[in-house]
Amino acid sequence: MKESFVSIENLDLKYQQKSVLTDLNWIINKGENYVLYGESGSGKTALAKIIAGLQNAIGDVKINFNAKSHLPEAVLFVESWYQFKNLEGVANFYYQQRYTSQQAKDTLTVHAELIHYGKEKGLHFDQVEPILEALNFSAFASSQLIELSSGEHKKLQLVKALWLKPQLLIIDQPYTGLDAASRKNLNVLLDEVSADGVQLLLICNDAELPTSINRFAEIVNEQIAISNSKAVQLVSNKKHTKEIPDFLKESPAFSSDNVVKMVNVNISYGEKQVLKNIKWEVKAGEKWLLQGHNGSGKSTLLSLINGDHPQSYANELYLFGNRRGSGESIWEIKQHIGLISPEFHWYFDANATVWQSIASGFYDTVGLFQQLPYTKSAQVDELTAYFGLTKSKNELLSTLPLGKQRLVLLARTIIKNPELLILDEPCQGLDQDQTEHFNHLVDELCSNGMTLIYVGHFESQLPTCLEKRILLEKGEVKVVESLNIEILS
């Protein structure tokens, strides 16, 4: 007879008077490793937090730990979104601070963070080293937490979880921000801890999963539907019949034929060289795919283009026809650019409303601090409707599911019909239909001549308009090539 490990009975969860989970019942038996999937906003993360004891709900949740196991009697929830703190225990950082932290030294290094975690949990440090190597994370030991990209932060949280090996390990979006090699190695590590007695609950819609996964659960209509195999998610045949707003059909006004030009660009932090002799030219109207392993230098490269990196002045870098440091301000640069990235999402003002968040894109601020003229207000309304966010326009950004938050920031990115669109893993947290919807929009925008730099690890989540690819490896340009659109699509 099967023995239950997690038992959930008559679970009800409401959020702002709206039912999310209703009379939900779910039994996870010992030895069952689950994937929990469903549409964005269906309640997956909320349910996981309830199981982990991090969120309250009406109902009964019992966990039957194995007292004879050598593993800790614990449930560990690894968030898709991780907020680190500085040495004073404060998480109040600003976006550009990541690139100036060498002067401040105000956060722990990765090594110090792991030492602290190991002492807190009573773990042996020699046991974490194989995990660091498997996830290609050993080289980040001396890096401060604030210097890490979203993918690198994800790796750090995964390293801790795999090191601790709790009896129940719940990971929200385990593959977000990870390159292909890291995703593969993570699955091997998850299979290893499963063989050692850890039960897994992964929240994701991904197809490449650990072989130890043997159960699937989907949240449908506020209930759990269970099967031994995942329902096939066919590519949506839904036609996106909404017409793109007229103000986004206009071709951007280019200030130069060369949007970006880098000549032997080098970026170093002390003795650590992050970018080495980068030569790259992006001409007006080109559509580029930027790729590379975690830690290859992609985020640093983009920070130079965004005007956020102070070392740009020490290099031969041209943006929109002007050499960097020739008198233009960071805000003058940002007027040409629409940007979305996981890191920017971290630092955005979550207490702004949906409407305010989108409108702030006109002024490149992290909140709306002035009243919009009628024409701009109308454009915000149009774009809010296009993304299906009209009903949520007065809600705080922080109250929305992660997928909808990302859609809001995507709308903010394009509101001013920028000369250059920089999309750094824009589909993180979106479900399949939202991803298709957004990439359809990107294709439409770029058909009007907009310049695009797109960062994406998953080839199934790329727009079809991409024409060229630049690949970074250990801070150097490894490949520059034209793309075969059919392969990518």
What is the rounded CA–CA span in Å between residue 59 and residue 78? 23
Residue at 241 is within a domain: no
Segment 444-458 mean pLDDT: 86
- The pLDDT assigned to 278 comes to 95
Percent of the chain with pLDDT over 90: 50
Q: Tell me if 200 sits within 8 A of 35, measured CB to CB.
A: no
Domains contained in the chain, number: 2
What is the rounded CA–CA span in Å between residue 178 and residue 135? 9
Q: Are 221 and 255 in a shared domain?
A: no
Q: Are 406 and 442 in a shared domain?
A: yes
Q: Are 360 and 261 in a shared domain?
A: yes
Q: pLDDT tier at 460 (50, 70, 90 boundaries)?
A: low
Residue at 238 is within a domain: no
- The pLDDT assigned to 240 comes to 54
Q: Are 284 and 223 in a shared domain?
A: no
The residue out of 227, 256, 285 marking a domain boundary is 227
Residue at 153 is within a domain: yes
Q: Are 203 and 256 in a shared domain?
A: no
Q: Are 254 and 351 in a shared domain?
A: yes
Q: Are 254 and 222 in a shared domain?
A: no
Residue 160: CB atoms within 10 A of its CB come to 19
The residue out of 199, 227, 255 marking a domain boundary is 227
Domain span including residue 71: 4-227
89, 354, 395, 433 from 391: Cα distances, Å = 37, 10, 9, 19
- 309-365 confidence digits (pLDDT tens): 878 788 899 999 888 877 777 888 888 999 988 778 877 877 899 999 999 999 888
The residue out of 227, 255, 278 marking a domain boundary is 227
| 286/38: higher pLDDT | 286
